[in-house]
Structure 1
Amino acid sequence: MIEILTPSELPRARAAGTLVADILHTSKQRSEVGTNLLDINRWAQEMIVAAGGESCYVDYEPSFGRGPFGHYICTSVNDAVLHGKPYDYQLADGDLVTLDLAVSKNGIAADSAISFIVGDSRPAESVALIEATERALAAAIAAAGPGARIGDISHAIGTVLTEAGYPINVEFGGHGIGSTMHQDPHVPNTGRPGRGYKLRPGLLLALEPWVMVDTAKLVTDADGWTLRSATGCRTAHSEHTVAITEDGAEILTLPTV
């Protein structure tokens, strides 16, 4: 299903996006050496409930997962990159953390992810990974607008990641979003320009470049959810939800704090 929002629905999308962004920002600011991933999950739960939102993850049970996800936020550390299930782990200095959050508020969902390094260490490899995904996300947003095609976005992402020297996995990528978290169209992280669905005002897209240092292959943890790099290399992931407008793409998941 591809859902097109009306102008009257966009304020609700903005509210959902702001909530997601503020929760991610606050969780990042509170995350430090010794923070437990289960604490981050608890913070997300408390903030979602306090704001009158609903988790898109707790009851999420897609074909690629094992049972309901059962948590409020994805917490992926170091070689984990997608769908990281929170568990009893305390963050260490230099850990590369990705927080991925999707929340529905007043019937509209928003989805965003951030990667950051905990503590005082700044491993050059981790910094480069994060910066590459952020550049790719900026390129994707710049390529999005009415009349553009999904392939234009995919090509913009893929060009940045390839030039940075990273392999690209196409199993998981961006997606449409609206009254539900995952919708068509799928937005691969590489592709050919001028191909695919033509973007229209009112379309919401979650754009999410993610990358692994030296492989495009994923392996799944015993928890049935957490996806890691097959070689144990580090990973990073950046994501925004955007609304296609009459003259471009509006980022909905920017924090107010």
Structure 2
Amino acid sequence: MAFRKTGIYKSRDELRALLRPGVLTAESLDAVQAAVAPGITTGELDAIAERTIRDGGGVPNFMLVPGYRNTICASVNADVVHGIPGNRALEPGDIVSVDSGAEFEGWNGDSARSFVLDDPSRPELVTERRLLNEVTEQALWHGIAALATARHLNEVGDAVEDYVESRGDFGIVEDYVGHGIGRSMHEEPPVFNYRVKGRGPAVKPGLVVAIEPMITLGGIDTLTQDDDWTVTTVDGSAAAHWEHSVAVHEGGIWVLTAHDGGASGLAPLGIRPVPIS
């Protein structure tokens, strides 16, 4: 993933400009979530997300990435990220991650959620995948909570890794990481989902990042399919992916791609998000 090199701290007005694309991104995922069911194709989910973003006055920003023609990435089962939507129909027991983004007046939002489809004939598989999904989502919230109190950005990765390891034997994908976001969807700095050397940039007002842990039921090695986009686990283990865009400002933090600013996800961790004034 190539990051656009730019100043990583934004002004108060620039933070305000990021609110609308964040909401549009969340609305696109709400619409997808309402439609996820056995039999629907990933291409149909893509059309739902595109319509939601355009109806809200935005532009699907994934379409602005050279060579990519869709609104979402839809990654099923062993596919980790960057799955291309098409005629694949979802089946009972599938786990599908949907990554979406909206641009509004030149500013970007980026978020992902994963969903596990029920399958009464395979309860053990569904239980395993639901646990994976829950661990990945909570790893995201632990990373966001760490950002709220961190002095340096790499504390986020420490928190994600600590939480995942506390829940059992899961793999944290290292080939792909989070990123800054603003005028471009992918900006400096990288946001690691695991412990690294060095502290990273200071966490201070104006920092806006997309935190996005990708967790597997097996190993962490990945490969890119022949379509040059879809990233898949080498061992075929299922993966989950959750992501939010988060702004640090003078009053605290605000999750731009959550309708409540992250209040419901952060409350159990003792963090109260503060709206950007």
Distance in 2 between the 1:4 and 1:108 partners?
14
Partner of 2:21: 16
Q: Quick one: percent identity of the two aligned structures?
A: 31
Distance in 2 between the 1:59 and 1:12 partners?
19
Partner of 1:112: 111
| In the alignment, structure 1 residue 161 sits paired with structure 2 residue 167 | no
Q: How many pairs were matched up?
A: 250
1:192 and 1:224, CA in 2 relative to 1: closer, same or farther beyond 3 A? Answer: closer
Distance in 2 between the 1:185 and 1:146 partners?
18
1:65-144 correspondence to structure 2 within 5 Å: 68-121=67-120, 123-144=126-147
**Per-residue displacement from partner, 1:191-243 (whole Å, max 9, x unpaired)?**
15871111121211100011111111001112110001111111001111000
Partner of 1:191: 195
> What SS class does the counterpart of residue 243 from structure 1 fall into?
strand
Q: Are the counterparts in 2 of residues 74 and 100 from structure 1 also a CA contact under 8 Å?
A: yes
Q: 2:30 aligns with which of 25, 32, 53?
A: 25
1:146 and 1:161, CA in 2 relative to 1: closer, same or farther beyond 3 A? Answer: closer
1:2 and 1:166, CA in 2 relative to 1: closer, same or farther beyond 3 A? Answer: farther
Q: Are the counterparts in 2 of residues 166 and 214 from structure 1 also a CA contact under 8 Å?
A: yes
The residue type equivalent to 2:145 in the other structure is A
TM-score under structure 1 length normalisation: 0.92
**Per-residue displacement from partner, 1:90-147 (whole Å, max 9, x unpaired)?**
1111110100011111221011000011245561111111111111111111111376
Structure 1, unpaired ranges of 5+:
62-67
- Deviation at 1:185? 0.6
Partner of 2:270: none
Give the structure, 1 or 2, with the largest relative contact order (CA under 8 Å, sep 6 or more). 1
User: Which moves more between the two structures, 50-59 or 22-31?
Assistant: 50-59
User: Which moves more between the two structures, 193-202 or 7-16?
Assistant: 193-202
Distance in 2 between the 1:74 and 1:183 partners?
19
> What SS class does the counterpart of residue 58 from structure 1 fall into?
helix
Q: 2:154 aligns with which of 145, 151, 173?
A: 151
The residue type equivalent to 1:180 in the other structure is S
| In the alignment, structure 1 residue 48 sits paired with structure 2 residue 47 | no
**Per-residue displacement from partner, 1:162-196 (whole Å, max 9, x unpaired)?**
22321222221111000100011101111158711
The residue type equivalent to 2:247 in the other structure is A
Distance in 2 between the 1:203 and 1:75 partners?
28
User: Which moves more between the two structures, 192-201 or 91-100?
Assistant: 192-201
Q: 1:202 aligns with which of 190, 203, 206?
A: 206
Distance in 2 between the 1:146 and 1:116 partners?
30
The residue type equivalent to 1:249 in the other structure is I
Partner of 1:65: none
Q: Are the counterparts in 2 of residues 129 and 235 from structure 1 also a CA contact under 8 Å?
A: yes
> What SS class does the counterpart of residue 103 from structure 1 fall into?
strand
| In the alignment, structure 1 residue 251 sits paired with structure 2 residue 250 | no
Distance in 2 between the 1:243 and 1:152 partners?
16
1:171-182 correspondence to structure 2 within 5 Å: 171-182=175-186
